Each structure stands twice: as C-alpha cells, then as structure tokens.
Amino acid sequence: MVLGVKLQNNMEKELSLSEAFKELEKITAEFEKGQVDLEKGIPKFKKGLVLAKFLKEKLSKIENEIEEIKERF
C-alpha cells in the first residue's frame, strides 16, 4: 500500500502504510515538543492531515477485508 504525498518542493514520494505512520509520528512529536516555527508549521500540519486521512482510509479498508475473510470461515 502506497501513498503519494506531495512534499514541500512539489515532488511526490510513495509511502507505505508503515512509512506514513512513522512520518505522522515524527510530525506529531515535533508539534508536541514545540519544535515547529510558524512558517513551517502550516505545511507540516497539512501534511499531517493528509497522512492521517490516508492511514484512516487504509486501516478502515484493511478492517473491512478482515471482516469479509472472517465471514467466509
């Protein structure tokens, strides 16, 4: 599972589910520690929202697939 995330320089990077989670954790930690200045904060916040949405959608899809498999057995 991959995610195309637009980076600040408008390049797109493919991320796996685990890579997306690690990136979101990194962004969250920076905000929690107060290590983000105002100019860089908004793009990081937006990227965090994109990552969170991606993770929520993918995890929901995986959960549905697991439920379908369980119903068959």
Cα separation, 31 vs 67, whole angstroms: 35
Going by pLDDT thresholds of 50, 70 and 90, the confidence category of residue 38 is confident
- Mean pLDDT, the chain, rounded, equals 86
Structure tokens at 65: 């697939």
Rounded percentage of the chain residues whose pLDDT exceeds 70: 82
Count other C-beta atoms under 10 Å from residue 12's C-beta: 10
Please tell me the pTM assigned to this model: 0.74
pLDDT at position 35: 82
pLDDT at 8 over 70: no
The whole domain housing 13 covers: 2-72
Domain count of the chain?
A: 1
